[in-house]
Chains A and B, each alone.
Chain A
Amino acid sequence: MRSRWLAVSSVLLCAALAARAETRPHYGGTLRVETQASIGTLPTPDAAGGSNALAGQIANLIYDPGRGDGKGPFRVAQFVPGKKLTLTANDEYPGGRPHLDAIEIQMARPVREQMLDLQLERADVVDLPPEMIRRATQQGVRLAQSQPVELIAIVFANDDPKLREALALSVDRAAIFNVLLGRQGEPTAALLPNWMTGYGFVFDAGQDIQRARQLRAESRRTQPLTLTYDPQDALARAIAERVALDARGAGLAITPTTSIASPDARLVRVLLPTHDPQAALAAVAAALGASAPKNDDVPEEWYAAERRLRDDLHVVPILHVPVAYGLGARVKGWAASKSGAWALDDVWLEQRP
């Protein structure tokens, strides 16, 4: 009896292992990356952790200020500004030669074409906007997804606290999360995501139309609010329109637009380049034009600093969304990154017969 059980167990376990066969990394091959973003000049070392995500990613590959001569795991072999960057492995990298021989980065590539190239195995790594994650999952695309590391928020130019709170209470974040994002990311009323701080839930992200109406009535503003968003950003447009719809329910008129010089509010997306709460809060402040708040290394201080910054900058947080990539089947060793940063020096390519 026991031997039969073991035989069955063996078959099942062997099958399970075979289904996800893996080995130590192989050396060699060229990784083909496609991205919507582009850079016109090669980044400087301080671009790492900066506001330009692609420049930061590339800076991490070609510089390493903490080691030796400051050169990173890859060297620049060819650069066509705004279009293509080719990197080759640095054999002398003090952290160890990368497994890949080279990386080719195609820039300014529309998302639709990236997905097509991934399916046709012409690309190994492509961008996957958060609103496309659910559909890509249903289509069986292999995903690499960060924690929610991008803040989507509305920033008011001039503060009317009652109007701002009325808007914050009128927004149905759960609907945006469910419908527009396909349940990717998390609704929030905090600047920093809960996974990073542990206290994000204390900022109430619930909808309260009755209270919003009351606050709207107490505000002296009579004209509609203008809300701008990036015209190239389909998700930003959808969110702006949904915010305007929700606000109408609280008696608040909002006009989403892409063409106004001095809007009353703007929809912004801020990528958090680190998962250290203090550094991330400083990054939010910098992105919104404020100086970094001072606080001690104590969660209660982070919380107080975040609350002050949110109010001082007149920010209404809406969502935190993840950074995601579609990966080809031959890509191995892609380290899960909380921040969504590439870790291409550790990636390797499966050899196929």
Chain B
Amino acid sequence: MRAVPQMSALNSRRRASSLLVFLLLLAGAAAGADWSQPARQLARKISAKTGPGAVAITFKDASSLSAADASEARRAIEQALRGAGLKFVPAEQSVATVRVTFSENAQGYLWVAEIRQGAGDEAVAMIAVPHLGSGTTARPAAAVVIRKQMLWLQAEPILDVAVLDPGSSSAHLLVLSPEKVTLYRQSGGRWETAQEMPLEHRRPWPRDVRGRLVPRKDHLFDAFLPGVMCVASGKGPFTLTCRESDEPWPLTVADQPPQFAFYGAQRNFFNGAIRPGFGETRTTAPFYSAAGLPRPNYTLWLFAGVDGAMRVTDGVNERVIAPRGWGSDVAAVLSGCGGPQALVTGAGDAGTPDSVVALDVVEREPTVVSDPLEFSGPLTAMWSAPSGDSALAVSKNLKTGNYEAYALTLACSQ
């Protein structure tokens, strides 16, 4: 693997590269649930109280384990108990009864064994079992399928994530958090921290702080934050120079003609001013996010407005669609299934799970072309990837409180 200081040579490949190989690499690394270790731990505790011999055992699942996982966990415990010299018999023939409950608390799973021997007191054994990750594909039902692949998760909010040189052995990951940018490198199939770069800013960030990472050819990246722009150096160890700035944020991806929009330094939206603009248009209503869908001679823009309306404009005509009917984040994915499509968030309060659907926009008429892709919590960010072949979505997992960043790609339904 190349060292980070040599990374500037990689930049030329970033924009054109595909996430596919990288995502496959990650998918291959994902492991299925293995309950054998906690099963052995619980079996040791049970057998320490019962000793070897005949026991009657029952199981109850009072947790969020899937039926398959509960069945697998049960099998693993029974196997471990047999290994400890216990054999299973009906209650009337047993010297002890064991009732195992797969329970759960705020920290994770809790497997509890209540053990009763004769008329004696009940003994209790328990072990804590951490939650494991879950699968991540949407139901393939409609014309387009949205696939999500987890890129990163952390307790701290994630504003944006960029994958540098995906698919290669020297892939790197940039994670933008409210107070720092972290560069990760691959090592033995895992991500390890290569460098942390603190973000300097004089004023507190506005609540619902948002930010964007833009990989560059001549230096590692730019980071756009409310009222602040940060520029990373070109060679490692990298330095990050931040300054107060009203520099507009880039809206376009891949090889689209550049468009920039001005972001409110004290708020969480773009104020509507666009540069250079399209046609005679230099402003639109304040908006949260925008997606540019390339057409043969122009770009069709979707703006998710602060007023809840979605605006579709080609620079000449603007059409308001589904007022208040959409979420506030929209992103473009330029390839996947038959051309550029937009992803738009569903709705939901900060305490409810969110979803994303894909839209085809033909004749400025949006059509939903996918089933909703569900998330385990509200989406806190969604941006088009700089390469245009995917989108980055960040969800706050309501169960764990962690922020989870996903790459969203599109495929045709089989």
Contacts and interface: CB of A to CB of B under 8 A. Distances in A.
Interface in B183-236: 204-209
Contacts of A197: 105, 110
Contact of A17 (B127, B347, B371): B347
A315 to B, nearest CB: 19
A346 B350 contact: yes
Interface in B324-371: 324-329, 346-351, 357, 367-369, 371
Interface in B86-119: 101, 103-106, 109-110, 112, 114
Interface residues of B, number: 52
A255 interface: no
Contact of A2 (B125, B143, B204, B324): B143
A21 B207 CA distance: 21
Question: Secondary structure at chain A's binding surface: helix, strand, loop or mixed?
Answer: loop
A6 B105 contact: no
B267 interface: yes
B110 A199 contact: yes
Contacts of A93: 204
A14 interface: yes
B62 interface: yes
Q: Please indicate which of the listed interface residues B105, B267, B288, B349 has the most CB atoms of chain A within 10 Å of its own CB.
A: B105
B204 A17 contact: no
Contact of A198 (B104, B125, B208): B104
A9 B142 contact: yes
Interface in A13-45: 13-14, 16-18, 20-27
Interface string B297-331: 00000001011100000000000001011111100
B110 A299 contact: yes
Interface in B72-88: none
Interface stretch (A103-111, A218-226, A239-247, A332-340): A332-340
Given A25-B268, A202-B114, A335 B350 contact: yes
B208 to A, nearest CB: 5
Given A195-B106, A201-B101, A24 B269 contact: yes
A196 B124 contact: no
B288 A13 contact: no
B59 to A, nearest CB: 14
Interface string B226-269: 00000000000000000000000000000000000000001111
A21 B204 contact: no
B153 interface: no
A345 interface: yes
A346 B207 contact: yes
Contact of B103 (A23, A198, A351): A198
Given A24-B268, A24-B288, A275 B346 contact: no
Interface string A289-325: 0000000001110010000000000000000000000
Nearest to A15: B325
B114 A94 contact: no
A294 B299 CA distance: 66
B286 to A, nearest CB: 11
Main secondary structure of the interface of B (DSSP, over half): loop
A17 B366 CA distance: 14
A6 B306 contact: no
Contacts of A2: 143
B70 interface: no
A199 B103 contact: yes
B126 interface: yes
Nearest to A274: B106
B128 interface: yes
A27 B267 CA distance: 8
Contact of A196 (B106, B266, B268): B106
A298 B126 CA distance: 9
A9 B349 contact: no
A277 interface: yes
Given A196-B106, A199-B112, A96 B269 contact: no
A13 B103 contact: no
Contacts of B126: 198-199, 299-300, 303
Given A300-B124, A303-B124, A13 B204 contact: no
A21 B351 contact: no
A14 B114 CA distance: 50
Contact of B105 (A13, A95, A195, A351): A195
10 contacts: A18-B324, A22-B327, A23-B306, A95-B204, A96-B209, A201-B112, A298-B128, A299-B110, A334-B349, A338-B106
Given A21-B325, A97-B207, A277-B106, 12 more contacts: A17-B346, A17-B357, A21-B347, A22-B346, A25-B207, A94-B204, A197-B105, A198-B103, A199-B124, A277-B105, A336-B351, A338-B106
Interface of B: 62, 101, 103-106, 109-110, 112, 114, 124-128, 142-143, 204-209, 266-269, 288, 304, 306-308, 322, 324-329, 346-351, 357, 367-369, 371-372, 398
- A-B pairs, top 5 by smallest CB distance, nearest first, are A198-B110, A198-B105, A22-B347, A96-B207, A18-B325
